[in-house]
Amino acid sequence: MSTAAALRKRLTRPGLVVAPGIYDMISARIADRMGFSALYMTGFGVVASHLGLPDAGLATYTDMVGRVGQICGGTRTPLIADADTGYGGLLNVAHTVRGYIQAGAAAVQLEDQEFPKKCGHTPGRRVIPAADRVKKIRVAVEARGGDDVLIVARTDARTAHGLDEALRRAEAYAKAGADILFVESPESEAEMEKICARFDIPLLANMVEGGRTPVLPAARLEALGYKIAIFPAAGFLAAGAALESIYRTLRDEGSSVNAHAPLYEFGKFTQLMGFEEVWAFDKRHADQEMS
């Protein structure tokens, strides 16, 4: 069964799908071993880790599809992959969806922002006309053909145009063929409840620590009616705090002896990165070395 088919099947079963944000191969490999039903490739995290830049439309399709391929090639868990606006017009959207499918994505997330896009929990976002966005969703659905990959339709209309406009857009995107709806940045639990009461297809909640939307317990999200909860920032925020802590210790004390940050066991980390396979390969071929 493909990862896309596995994710589709999982969405038909009871329970909230919790998808941690992964942004590089270390975070991807760690999360892949932990039994999640899905992983979420965060655009913010990928752009930050790969380019050291803000998530503001600076990463290209080539940058992002390359990361999708790397992550899917090194993991087994279904990947929900951020594809921003589709990186252009209708033809670009079709190319993006086909490229993400080929790279191994189980779900492709597309949003209705103008280019260049911005992170959904930062100011200054503007959206394209809803009719233009509907065309993009239809093209995305057409481009996937008979593949099981899911199309996630995100709208960023709430912040600038209000919740009613965001709901109107989400309804139009569902009619255009989206499999999962992602109404970005509701600003209260009451708004989240209103979103969930409106739709009967899978809904995605974006849980960003320090963002515009309340971060709720899993049981409450499920009770509201959400099917998927992504935590795009938790991983890189935790990693950033740990790195800052250990580097401060090294700077101030010249050693890691008194480090307060938790450290991954070195032996386990070599296993995580696949060194055991390298050692086994070397052992098998030791007698074949040329003199």
Is residue 72 in some structural domain? Answer: yes
Q: Model confidence over 183-240: pLDDT tens digits?
A: 999 999 999 999 999 999 999 999 999 999 999 999 999 999 999 999 999 999 999 9
Cis peptide before 116 (omega within 30 of 0): yes
Is residue 264 in some structural domain? Answer: no
Q: Pick the residue with more confidence: 291 or 70? A: 70
Q: Model confidence over 96-106: pLDDT tens digits?
A: 999 999 999 99
CATH code where residue 33 lies: 3.20.20.60
Which two three-digit tokens encode residue 174?
């569902």
* H-type alpha helices, the chain: 3-11, 25-32, 43-51, 61-73, 90-103, 130-144, 157-161, 163-175, 189-198, 218-224, 234-253, 266-272, 275-284
Give the whole-angstrom CA distance, residue 110 versus residue 43. 11
Is residue 50 in some structural domain? Answer: yes
Lowest mean pLDDT among 3-7, 216-220, 235-239, 261-265: 261-265
Looking at residues 135-163, what average pLDDT do you find?
95
Terminal-to-terminal C-alpha distance of the chain: 46
| Residue 96 exposure: Cα atoms within 13 Å on the Cβ side | 28
Instruction: Please tell me whether residue 235 adopts helix, strand or coil conformation.
Output: helix
Q: Is the pLDDT of residue 287 over 80?
A: no
Is residue 216 in some structural domain? Answer: yes
Is residue 246 in some structural domain? Answer: no
Contact 119, 158 (CB under 8 A): no
Is residue 251 in some structural domain? Answer: no
Is residue 265 in some structural domain? Answer: no
CA dihedral sign, ordered 52, 235, 140, 213: negative
Is residue 208 in some structural domain? Answer: yes
**Which structural domain, as residue segments, surrounds residue 61?**
3-239
pTM: 0.94
In the chain, the number of structural domains is 1
Question: What share of the chain has pLDDT > 90, as a percent?
Answer: 88
